[in-house]
Structure 1
């Protein structure tokens, strides 16, 4: 069985593809001699690794915490006979951090960024029947200006930092296309006018060629619309969806009713079909109206859970698609309507299941820890690639490029770091004006669409009183950080508590010892009520994000263990999220 053989990009699907996940040859290059010795032609690959799992993970088959900042991969492949004559596009879901890729000894691409995807057309270097891909990945373990998220700069995780990762950690695959093909599409729903805006990008089109793009939209098998566009390299078209205003019966997307339209694209060259892609979109609107967070033009309280995306055996790579789906289902069973993917970029398969099952997502970037000009360049480039890749997912309702001043630790005193936070905010808005954007989640905001607060107080009476007015919040919130950075102030934005809780319960003997800690399940339940209930019933708090979904290698504040086992019945957590003062266990 091939590891992770699910289709890696479910929002844009072609039938003609082959996975390259599975067993690859592997070698560490601690002396950095591989390039000079031309390992891309004949390297000393003495070990094997299971891709897409990083060598530090159990599922990789290596499971070492030793730092190897340069690693090499190699695997043979053949082009299936049925795809002979087509162009071959090689895709990498993510490689941490700098990647170089050779095919048959020829360098075909380089890429920088450990969280974003990249692709390259390798057709022109393929000669004969037997081929080899070689990847060199370089990480920088001790560079604190690297966008790294929770990956620690030491070999063993501690406090709130976890095991590092190096190299390939998301799926690798090849898809096969005609010389003229649909490279990508961009869906923008316009709920108020009942339209979907579809931007299409065609690759390989030569001057004088006639290309028609047929777009067919269905909903649960029923025909909705069909248009044929005389297409150029880039086109934009709005299509009316013939829906009606939503009174519980329409086709709008929400966590409660995750309605999705199916789309088939057929590209015709001189009247002959040369490419087919299936996709989907959801019609939903996230906005702020009269000071209220609204979903589909109605006030909506976001009930999120912080999800750090870690697995005990795969680190940030889920062991299976079923495991990804389970995380989404468990969130919903506990009464949460969303998740904040914390300090990491979600796998497209995760976003697919959130689209399909109905779970709001706050899309977040893995942050650096320190600031530098070189970091700023890296961050801006990689963040743009993340937005571009994930734009079409209706589940994403907010973008969080920075969290708790990570990467900008001196934002209060340094104008340059404030400009960086604002540049990310404005850049994000410039490429996506359909979602909410945070300049710096938790504290030291510059301009943000929301006023988001991190508050780990556990006293129920204190929380009930604090969240009665914005004045109390601004004046009473303890800690060394102000909610707004120097030169910025609250301007009436909706208030959300986007980190709180963090109640500890140690249920497994192998779990870390952390204090303070609930003595038993009954005490754990009481503490959950004490922190969640004030958020649910506060008339001022328009949303919250409980910390956190699961335990990790150094934390035991999960509602679930690291193995996704509930610490108390999920139904009790759902009732707490619904506002009940649950007492019984």
Structure 2
């Protein structure tokens, strides 16, 4: 049963970190103490000698979380790394920073992402393994630390990433030793933050916020550890200094000590009235990115707080209707940019935490209100800044290139984990499990591949029915809530004719698209879904130093020609009577792709005001 605030006394408080600053690796489940394990580790690029599980002092140093292919790692070897090993000492200072104490006696080791398969030991004792290079995982390592956990211990990680295995979800990582066409250098091993934190015997392990509507939010809390019975869950929500709601829920009695993980749902009504305006004042949009802060506490039978974490959510809905993308029930023109999330010095890992914030700021400064994170499950701290600063994000799964039972199993499993990880972020407004028929190359004629694409879309809908899903971005859609098209026509006048009006729309959807691919397959029909041009542009322009292998879909002779071409393409989009949104390719130059709006170092190719004027038309 649930009770609103005021009916029960406030619980004995625990310290809760409330300052979200983009540092903590899991921004929607923030603890007051944690040990950042990034930095210098030992590294070996070698085979399977089991002696390494106890450490290897003769190894080289690597800077985690940068992959060994990158210069930022200190290794800088871009070739193949099928198996790599890492080692680091866990010290008493690490445990103290993690909050280890009699009231927090369990130690949990977290990995943001390790590509592709990871196995972990402490002092030679195996503690767990995980497969999937883009999603987080964690292990309770308390027992592995033994009777004297405050002594120094050796943490070892083995990462396996077969560069030739095309059944792995890999996104834009090349399977050739040297990058070719649209693929880039690889990111092997640890590429997101590793951290340690202490938790109580029974703890809050995961949170999932779901917008029911603009006045109601549902929170699903996953608990881990040993329960004794009689516990309650308390959820408090506030905006700025204003209290919005407090709800307490009794947990089901366990009857005896239970170590089984459990989930609890809490419904949180958000009711307020200020200056004659109700909940709309709290609604999240890119223009008004208002976030509601929350504290989630686990109370024992006496009302004392056993565990407490800080979190946040945004009040917003995303959907489709009458040929439009709907944000908070109203038509919203999506003006997006394709973001590879790749840096020359650090590859898929951001060179710094500040770089993730700057990426969001740059996208907005260029005039965009959305980003399509292309073939990448981005660091959650990027999503925190998208939530905080106001940027719509399309959540996209890195593709595998093969269609086989193993490829299906791998991608479905990791896709489910990616959706679960990011579903609470208000910035995420749509899911994209596949792109341009990667991994389903014969989807136009193969019923099995059509079923697979529909299944990926339906898995996302089953896990999260609150967002639109695009089954196969670009063409050959078997079951999409938004019809998306990729078209690299370089002439604005031609583009204007292709997307002029409802007659042009009908011709596109019943025929073959710009890439000589059918737009609808597998029995899909035009049901009035919104249509978006989700890849276009890609105009090559290289100010300064020229890359001999640099390319784009078309090329400009100088900065004025480049801006004129981009403006002409956007004028065509703005003239369309049916396009519900667009996505320009791309944000930055990325290796041999020199078709970015920014150089690879994130500097603009012409004054940023000129780019913004071309993008926005004003």
Q: TM-score range by the shorter chain?
A: over 0.9
CA contact (8 A) 1:412 1:485 kept: yes
Question: Are positions 1:226 and 2:251 aligned together?
Answer: no
Question: Are positions 1:196 and 2:217 aligned together?
Answer: yes
Find the aligned partners of 1:513 and 1:405 in 2 and give their Cα distance. 25
Find the aligned partners of 2:37 and 2:130 in 1 and give their Cα distance. 19
CA contact (8 A) 2:401 2:438 kept: yes
**SS at 2:539's partner residue?**
coil
Which residue is equivalent to 1:20? Answer: 37
Which residue is equivalent to 1:104? Answer: 123
Question: Are positions 1:534 and 2:549 aligned together?
Answer: no
**SS at 2:211's partner residue?**
strand
Map Cα deviations across residues 190-249 of structure 1 (whole Å, 9 max, x no partner). 225x1111111221243x522122211100121111122222432212121114697996
**SS at 1:83's partner residue?**
coil
Q: Which moved more, 1:475-484 or 1:444-453?
A: 475-484
Across the aligned residues of Structure 1 and Structure 2, the Cα RMSD in angstroms comes to: 1.8
Question: Are positions 1:514 and 2:542 aligned together?
Answer: no
Q: Number of paired residues?
A: 571
User: Aligned match of 1:505 in 541, 549, 554?
Assistant: 541
CA contact (8 A) 1:243 1:250 kept: no
CA contact (8 A) 1:446 1:485 kept: yes
CA contact (8 A) 2:397 2:434 kept: yes
Give the alignment's TM-score, normalised by structure 2.
0.89
Find the aligned partners of 1:316 and 1:246 in 2 and give their Cα distance. 44
**SS at 1:376's partner residue?**
helix
Find the aligned partners of 1:133 and 1:256 in 2 and give their Cα distance. 45
**SS at 1:12's partner residue?**
coil
Which residue is equivalent to 2:187? Answer: 165
**SS at 1:399's partner residue?**
strand
Find the aligned partners of 1:247 and 1:409 in 2 and give their Cα distance. 50
Which residue is equivalent to 2:526? Answer: 490
Which residue is equivalent to 1:72? Answer: 85
Question: Are positions 1:138 and 2:160 aligned together?
Answer: yes
Please report how far the alpha carbon of residue 476 of structure 1 lies from its aligned counterpart in structure 2 after TM superposition: 7.0
CA contact (8 A) 1:190 1:283 kept: no
CA contact (8 A) 1:442 1:454 kept: yes
Find the aligned partners of 1:191 and 1:5 in 2 and give their Cα distance. 27
Closer/same/farther in 2, CA of residues 451 and 42 from structure 1, 3 Å limit: closer
Which residue is equivalent to 2:237? Answer: 217
Which residue is equivalent to 1:363? Answer: 395
Find the aligned partners of 1:461 and 1:413 in 2 and give their Cα distance. 33
**SS at 1:436's partner residue?**
coil
Closer/same/farther in 2, CA of residues 338 and 73 from structure 1, 3 Å limit: same
Please report how far the alpha carbon of residue 141 of structure 1 lies from its aligned counterpart in structure 2 after TM superposition: 0.4
Please report how far the alpha carbon of residue 498 of structure 1 lies from its aligned counterpart in structure 2 after TM superposition: 0.5
Question: Are positions 1:117 and 2:132 aligned together?
Answer: no
**SS at 2:282's partner residue?**
coil
CA contact (8 A) 1:466 1:472 kept: no
**SS at 1:229's partner residue?**
strand
Q: Which moved more, 1:124-133 or 1:81-90?
A: 81-90
**Unaligned 5+ residue runs, structure 1?**
581-585
CA contact (8 A) 1:506 1:517 kept: no
Find the aligned partners of 2:480 and 2:190 in 1 and give their Cα distance. 34
Please report how far the alpha carbon of residue 454 of structure 1 lies from its aligned counterpart in structure 2 after TM superposition: 0.4
Question: Are positions 1:250 and 2:281 aligned together?
Answer: yes
Which residue is equivalent to 1:381? Answer: 413
Please report how far the alpha carbon of residue 488 of structure 1 lies from its aligned counterpart in structure 2 after TM superposition: 2.6
Which residue is equivalent to 1:583? Answer: none
Map Cα deviations across residues 106-135 of structure 1 (whole Å, 9 max, x no partner). 111111011111011001111221111100
Find the aligned partners of 2:323 and 2:543 in 1 and give their Cα distance. 42
Find the aligned partners of 2:425 and 2:136 in 1 and give their Cα distance. 16
Please report how far the alpha carbon of residue 185 of structure 1 lies from its aligned counterpart in structure 2 after TM superposition: 1.4
CA contact (8 A) 1:27 1:44 kept: no
Please report how far the alpha carbon of residue 529 of structure 1 lies from its aligned counterpart in structure 2 after TM superposition: 0.8
